[in-house]
Structure 1
Amino acid sequence: MTIKNAIEVSHLTKKFGQKLAVDDVSFNVRQGEVFGLLGPNGAGKTTTLRMLTTLLKADAGQVKIFGHDTVKEGRLARSLFGLTGQYAAVDEDISARQNLMIFARLNGLSRPDAKQRTTELLHEFSLENSADKALKDFSGGMRRRLDLAVSLITRPALIFLDEPTTGLDPRTRTQMWDTIRHLVQQGSTIVLTTQYLDEADQLADNLAIIDHGKLVKMGTPAELKQQIGGTRLNFTVDQSTQVGAAVKLVAAQVADAVQQTGQQLSVRLTQMAQAAPILTALNQAKITISQLAVQEPSLDDVFLNLTVGKN
């Protein structure tokens, strides 16, 4: 079965005065995936998101939502997605229940349907016990969950989440991650912008990294991590007199330079199977080692490698 695209972005471009904020960006988002949009502050990811969601007009390029052009069929395209940002566009002085009822009615639901959908969402986002409190008494995590609930009133097939866990405590962030995973299990497609690389690593099926308005790299988290260096084998040679011999032995086993810091050695492995011959060779040469560790590259490594110093 062919997986259709939820979003098709072609040559998207946006200038503000003389500054090229988004520079000829193209990518596709498949149905049923979490797609992460990453980039440093000012890289163009928020501008890109605003064009995808029709909040900002592109200077050039095209965006299709489930095959519908966002310029030619804007109203239809907008009806197919929900958008939640960092702060809820809700009324502080009324309750979560009242806010959900208002938004449900604005989205065209009848009063009985709006009441039913409000009850469902309060339950789904664990807001039942606080449903009738004024929003000004809500914690940041509760506010964020309500914001997400509002964007899901019409059960959209596509959901844009703009930094949904910024400023939340670790426990509430984890709850939001579970909510996002649950939405995907129910068939939703998620586009996520985040400043937390561990969040992208945990949630995203595919990532696009944007820097200075350009799309610099795309792939799964695993692919991106592998591309920038693969796995590293780190260990300490116990006796300083054996360090030189250890470096030669390790270098003979791999086609990569051995990094040395005092008695600590580090070498890049293209595959995990390379570790066993290295350890065997050291053992046979009676070179004793300690603090052995296998280190996988992180998305932080990818991010720094692709975006730092590219001015």
Structure 2
Amino acid sequence: MSTEITPKIEKKKVTPSNIILGAVLTMTEVTTLGQPIEVTKTTMAANRDLSFIQSIAKVWSRGGFLGFYQGLIPWAWIEACTKGGILLFVSSEVEYRARVANAGNFMSGIVGGITGGVVQSYTTMGFCTCMKTVEITRRKNMASTGVTQSSWDVFKVIWAKEGWRGINKGVNAVALRQMTNWGSRFGFSRLVENGIKKIQNKGSDDKLSVTEKILASAIGGGLSAWNQPIEVIRVEMQSKTNDPNRPQNLTVMKTLKYVYNTNGIKGLYRGVTPRIGLGVWQTVFMVGFGDMAKEKIANYGKAKPQSLK
């Protein structure tokens, strides 16, 4: 009589190295292609009458090549230094707890991603995302004087006028976006990983190659763009574009109704193309490279088995 041994679920250690790793990965992601795609996507969502090419032209007109890095310093960097570490820290812990509670790989990934995304939003992403959107959509020159306000000047004005609520405008939409973002990205990535293992006749505990891991992450990131309406709502709530028809004191539902009545269902999906590209780019970094880097750190210093000669 044989008994099947259930494989032990090992807990990934929560260490300062994981937090630092998350910050390094996100800083690299946003400073390379992340911010240019973010600026293009936000411009399309805020100016829903513009095509993809027209949006690129508009961004270029606001500063040339550097126009694609509006909001990078300091807001995107502040966000990157914090949100990556929070995501890896929280999602790893929750994913492990879900696995211990007998949840599958797919469901554990979703729960971990959702929790990590929500915690991200209410700790650091609220004011950083708001200020990035303000920087991307505001008029650069004051009409009366022609003087250009710095990003810090704009922050001070909003803070003096509206306080904490002002710089966190749209934070509930950010939370909805992040929980669906990372729930989808982690979940879809794990689902694709399971499919790849079946195709390659690998066991559930077998490791994927670097190429397989990146492929799974890229597909998961692209599929996560299904929630683009939430992103358009978030941008509209935080936008500084001049729109006299925009209702005051916007909530998520008010904004949804306004965008739909103004631009129809297509308006809720403006910017989805660059969003897919951003989802792929971010997920390859945070899920693909993140998993591989965490494993490298976990195994650092361990004795490697010697091959027989």
TM-score of the superposed pair, with normalisation by structure 1: 0.25
Write 1 or 2 for the structure with the bigger share of strand: 1
Write 1 or 2 for the structure with the bigger share of helix: 2
- When Rg is computed on C-alpha atoms for both structures, the one with the higher figure is 1
